[in-house]
Structure 1
């Protein structure tokens, strides 16, 4: 029996859902890599980590954990010993004692960034037009409409709690830096990626390259899998 190859577990960010990983999953599977997606409740950071840990408990063998945007905080909060590498896709990476909001707001956003505030239901939604302006401006109009329709809102409770010691201090990290991101400034992404000593790949992509540049996303993930598989 040879060593078991790593499984890729993909965590979606706020205002997205599991379908945002669809193209990447197909590419990983065509490369012979097992990939798993799951739904984050986005109700609190603790709830999201619980959802992640339930998925990790079902995976046999080592894991490469991938997080988009907000989910960067989620993937670094698990204590699972199965996780051998972290991959951030335009991901947020608060350090111990910081909140997601702290790092999200570290540097000034540009004029295309949407104004974020809780709605009447207490949750933060993205206006439909924001998907074409800031979230996935490189996607087709049809994809932008679908993303807006399927978006999962996030609770302010998920982004306002200080995190514990993040896992990126203990396992290697990869970071896809999105240079045309209007949700998380490029400068903010670079600060977090360099602080983690991550393997950085910078590309002229938007905030959701899993949809608009899936080949680039898959390449970064495969690099981490090959590293873990030795």
Structure 2
């Protein structure tokens, strides 16, 4: 179908903000798809889902909902009726009763994955060197500088809350597996995508393909948008 009436809502993960989707937003516009980046407080999974729902309330017409990394759990937890398709980008997709931590720590950590621990405020920051080592090693130096400068911490509450029935059990889903991910192992991504019965695309990308492989991410979102039946 044509994508003229389909919107894409793009959800950032931990240590990022909506600007991490900027390259994808530009490319979606070329395909006639309006994109909106949903801001998350990263204070708890429940509060992040509420923030996403506020963004979805503003959108008329069908929505392709895309989440990067931690945001996979957030997009799985909305029940918004205008969401017609889900796209997971190197994302975490807990099943009912699981937490983000359960799936994040499921596999063996990459040797260059950062050691993460909360500060005295219960916030987890990404060490500066981890942006180049694990978060986006394929990014250009100027991109790494921006990613590090705008990083936003994630609360430990976000990764410890069990999810309810995930939306991927009730909506078609796509999964872009990042084959060179040093934050979330590709084996874990394959495991989640398989049990979701997602349409899988694999690409030799790092953990942040929305920055380093935006054409690939855009292609998957456009495919999802075109699958939505005309009304």
Q: Distance in 1 between matches of 2:221 and 2:44?
A: 26
Q: Which structure 2 residues correspond to residues 179-194 of structure 1 after superposition, within 5 A?
A: 179-194=179-194
Cα deviation, 1:144-183, whole Å, max 9, x if unaligned, reads 1110110010000011011000000000000000000000
Q: CA RMSD in A?
A: 1.3
* Counterpart residue number, 2:219: 219
* Counterpart residue number, 2:10: 10
Q: Secondary structure at the match of 2:85?
A: strand
* Counterpart residue number, 1:51: 51
Does 2:145 match 1:145? yes
Structure 1 alignment gaps of length 5 or more: none
Q: Which structure 2 residues correspond to residues 165-176 of structure 1 after superposition, within 5 A?
A: 165-176=165-176
Aligned residues of 1:5 and 1:229 also touching (Cα < 8 A): no
Does 2:153 match 1:156? no
Q: Secondary structure at the match of 2:10?
A: strand
Cα deviation for residue 207 of structure 1 reads: 0.5
Structure 2 alignment gaps of length 5 or more: none
Q: Distance in 2 between matches of 1:115 and 1:229?
A: 45
Cα deviation for residue 62 of structure 1 reads: 0.8
Cα deviation, 1:156-214, whole Å, max 9, x if unaligned, reads 00110110000000000000000000000010000000110000000000000111010
Q: Distance in 1 between matches of 2:154 and 2:215?
A: 28
Does 2:37 match 1:41? no
Q: Distance in 2 between matches of 1:82 and 1:110?
A: 37
Does 2:119 match 1:119? yes
Q: Which structure 2 residues correspond to residues 56-71 of structure 1 after superposition, within 5 A?
A: 56-71=56-71
Q: Which structure 2 residues correspond to residues 82-121 of structure 1 after superposition, within 5 A?
A: 82-121=82-121
TM-aligned CA distance change 1:84 to 1:150, over 3 Å: same
TM-aligned CA distance change 1:99 to 1:122, over 3 Å: same
TM-score (norm 2): 0.97
TM-score (norm 1): 0.97
Aligned residues of 2:3 and 2:33 also touching (Cα < 8 A): no
Q: Which structure 2 residues correspond to residues 202-217 of structure 1 after superposition, within 5 A?
A: 202-217=202-217
Cα deviation for residue 4 of structure 1 reads: 6.6
Cα deviation for residue 38 of structure 1 reads: 2.1
Q: Secondary structure at the match of 2:201?
A: strand
Q: Distance in 2 between matches of 1:74 and 1:133?
A: 26
